[in-house]
Each structure stands twice: as C-alpha cells, then as structure tokens.
Amino acid sequence: MTTAPATPVRTRFAPSPTGFLHLGGARTALYSWAYARHFGGTFVLRIEDTDLERSTPEAVQAIIDGMQWLGLDHDEGPFYQMQRMDRYREVIGQMLAAGTAYHCYSTPEEVEAMRERFRAAGEKPRYDGTWRPEEGKTLPAIPEGRKPVVRFKNPLDGDVTWHDVVKGTITISNKELDDLIIARTDGTPTYNFCVAVDDWDMRITHVLRGDDHVNNTPRQINILRAIGAPLPEYGHLPMILGSDGQKLSKRHGAVSVMEYPAQGFLPEAMLNYLARLGWSHGDDEVFSMAQFCEWFNLEHLTASAAQFNNEKLAWLNNYWIKQADNGRLAELAKPRMLAAGADFDNAPDLATVLGLLKERTNTVNELADAAMLFYRQPQPDEALMTQHFTDAVKPALAQFAERIQTVEWTKEAIAAAMKEVLAANGLKMPQMAMPLRLIVTGQLQTPAIDAVLQLFGRATVAARLAKYL
C-alpha cells in the first residue's frame, strides 16, 4: 500500500515545443497525471519555450492537441516560460546579490580555449573560473564594452546525491559540474535555471521525466539549494525502444501521438498500452484509466527500457473497440467512410452495422473499411460469380428470393428460410451463401449472412437478387 506523501502532491509535464508530442513524452505526462490523480493532487502543464529558434506555435498546439486526445487534463496552466522572464530576472538579481551567481566576461572563444587546455591535460573540459569571485582573489579588469553572462557559483567540493524513485540512489561529484551559465549576454535565462525556478514557484513535489535529464538534475538541485527552495522527488524514466531494440524513431511507424487517431486507434488503448511501458500491476494487461489511477505508484516503475510493440497495441485497440459505444464508433468512422465514397441514403444504421463488425477489427480504419460493403453498390468479381453462381444453385436462390417477400425480417426467420430452401434443393449452406454474399455485398467474406441480410433490409436484398435472377 502506497502511503500518501506528507505534502499535497503536485506534478508537472513540461515539454519543449520544438516538435510533436511523442510517445515518450505522452508516457511521462500519463505517469505524472496518474500520480497526481491517485493522491487527489494537482497536475500542472508547463510549456518550456525558451528555445526561440526551435519553438513554434504549431508545436505548442500539437502538444495541447495530443494531451486533449489522450484525456490528460491539467489542473493548472499551461504556463509559458517566455511569459515569466521578469520572475527569472528577479531571482538572478537576488542570486547576484547573495553571491551565489556572478558576472563572467569571458568570450565563447576564451571559454573554448580553457576547455581545450583541460582536454590536453587529460582532464574533463570545463570553464576555469576566471571570473568566479573568491575570498582574497583579484578579478581581471572588466573589458570595455563587453556584455557578461551570469554564471551559477556551483559548489567546488562534495557530491550531489538524490534517491531517484526509478533508478535508486544517484551520486554525482560537484567536481563534474561546471559553473553553469544561467543568463546569456542578452539577459535571457537558460534552461536549467528556468526549470529550477519554475519547480520552486509551482511547488512541484514530484518530477517524473525521461532519463536523458539525469545530467540536468544535480545542476537543478544545486540551484534549488542556492535559492533556498525545497527539493522535489525525482524519477527518471528509461527510454522507449523500437521492436528492434533501437531508440524509437519514425522508421518504427508512428511516433507522434496525433498520428494514432488518424490510424484509427482509440485513446483508451494508447493510454492502456503506454501505462504498461515502464510500470506494472502484477499480470494485469487491460485496465481503464480510473483503475490505473487507483493502482499507480512509484514503487512499480521499472528502470529497464521498454520495447514498443505495434501488435500488442493493435490487440489492445481491438479490445477497447469491442467495449466502445457503437454510436461513438460511428462518429469516428463516418468521416473516413464519406471520404471513401460511402452513400448513407436508404442504408442501414451505421452504429448497428459497426456493432456487428467490430469483433474482428483492430482499428477504427479497419472497421470503417469493413462497413463500406453496406454503403456502396456491390461489384462482384466476374470470375467469382462464374465459380459460385452456378446453374445448380440458381433455382434455390430464386426460391429464396420468393420466400423473403413474406418472411418476418429477423435474423432467425431469414436463417430458417435459408435452411428450408437448402433442404428442398439438397444443397449445403456454402453453396448458397457464397453467391448470395457476392450478389448482395460484392464480397465473399462477411459476418453471418443472416445478420448481414437483416441489416441490408428486405427491399435492398430483393432488388439485388432480382438483378441476377
């Protein structure tokens, strides 16, 4: 049993809007959302848009669209870092006054020369602290007309240690960390500084993110300590791999979340699948989001990379299609069918048709394709008609066409009429069902022929039989 944290849970999802919402980001958002929901906490959406060259309004919208499709509703936000510049400058001013940050006038070329000297000496390349103020140290004269960056005065000794809720205890020596630039020469703050201030201001208690952020964590911890802020708990999730064990990329199929609704996947299937890519609850494979939020905890997150499997996702999607309301499926399928030329005039009710077909389809697209047989004129293959519409079966079909004029139009009554005609003519079911399918639907394979005929309606079935008889 997971015990509730001492303070109210506040989690965040903080994507950079430099592209679409990808599957790894969606999983991070899901876990952060579910942890907040589990404890009745707060889920914050924050857009980290300080990379002006790569951030775009289209990418922001793609992230928000992806979150909305998945149903990962945020309680606060979206907050935009570019709208918080005054706050960042205020904190930088306070740090300069407190001596936890300082102005550095070294040029990028000078810093690269320092790094090169360390490389040549076989040491880790870094800034050498030329402008770092220390007791008894005389700083160089400030070059005329040169604008400084602001650097964080990182501790020189000791370690940064945190208990990672996914990876366990992680320790990084402060000697490994540079005096990080926290504001550029034009005054704009840098990524790690903004994240630390945001997590402080937004009272974030738990940070779940990809393990590509592990190296950022000690820097952010040191900044948080320097500004007197409490530390959140951190958990770094392993990456999602393709089925070949390589980093998930476009060659593995769709990686943008919003490509999946276009392919006919349901959000509950995607959420169900993503939930299991790095977390488990015994052997449970299929569960709703309400159940997931009830079960979700940090103890059962796994530190090993997960492999994305399209077949498993399709299997789950089939399950959730079978659970879905037929009217909802009709709303999803109808635009696709109209684009394919479907004619809904004098045709069966689409929701009823989809209810008949959904057992055997993995995506809404497959379901829409399968339903088209009810909404277009049949065009049976001539060779198949020659094979199945034989002289031996024509009398039976003629009798069946006569019988259906008066039979009660139910699946059971239609089936009974077929059996009587078959018995009277000494035929087996496939001998009559195959040409009947071709004439009425244009296809050899359909669900049970009695159910299909019932949906088409007496008039349509009679008219299509009459065309051949």
Encoded amino acid at 412, one letter? E
User: In the sheet that 101-104 helps form, which strands lie side by side, from edge to edge?
Assistant: 101-104, 149-152, 181-183
Annotated binding residues for ATP? 250
Please give the sequence-ordered ranges of beta strands (E in DSSP) within 339-381, or none if there are none.
none
- pLDDT, one tens digit per residue, over 254-267 is 678 999 999 999 99
Closest CA to 258 of 70, 398, 446, 7: 70
- pLDDT, one tens digit per residue, over 401-452 is 999 999 999 999 999 999 999 999 999 999 999 999 999 999 999 999 999 9
Closest CA to 461 of 383, 385, 407: 407
Q: How many CB atoms lie within 10 A of CB 46?
A: 23
Closest CA to 286 of 265, 270, 272: 272
User: Do 326 and 193 meet the contact criterion of CB atoms below 8 Å apart?
Assistant: no
pLDDT at 51: 83
User: Do 390 and 377 meet the contact criterion of CB atoms below 8 Å apart?
Assistant: no
**CA 439 distance to own-chain centroid:** 43
User: Do 157 and 174 meet the contact criterion of CB atoms below 8 Å apart?
Assistant: yes
Tokens of 326: 């037929």
pLDDT at 249: 72
Q: Model-level pTM greater than 0.85?
A: yes
pLDDT at 368: 98
Cα-only R_g, the chain: 32
Strand partners, 209: 236
Q: Tell me the longest C-alpha to C-alpha distance in the chain.
A: 112
Q: What percent of the chain has pLDDT over 90?
A: 93
- pLDDT, one tens digit per residue, over 389-406 is 999 999 999 999 999 999
pLDDT at 250: 67
Closest CA to 148 of 128, 130, 174: 130
Element (H, E) at 172: strand 168-173
Kindly report the backbone phi and psi dihedral angles of residue 45, in degrees, each rounded to the nearest multiple of 5, phi listed first.
Answer: -105, 125
- pLDDT, one tens digit per residue, over 55-82 is 889 999 999 999 999 999 999 999 999 9
Annotated binding residues? 250
- Residues lower than pLDDT 50 in the chain: none
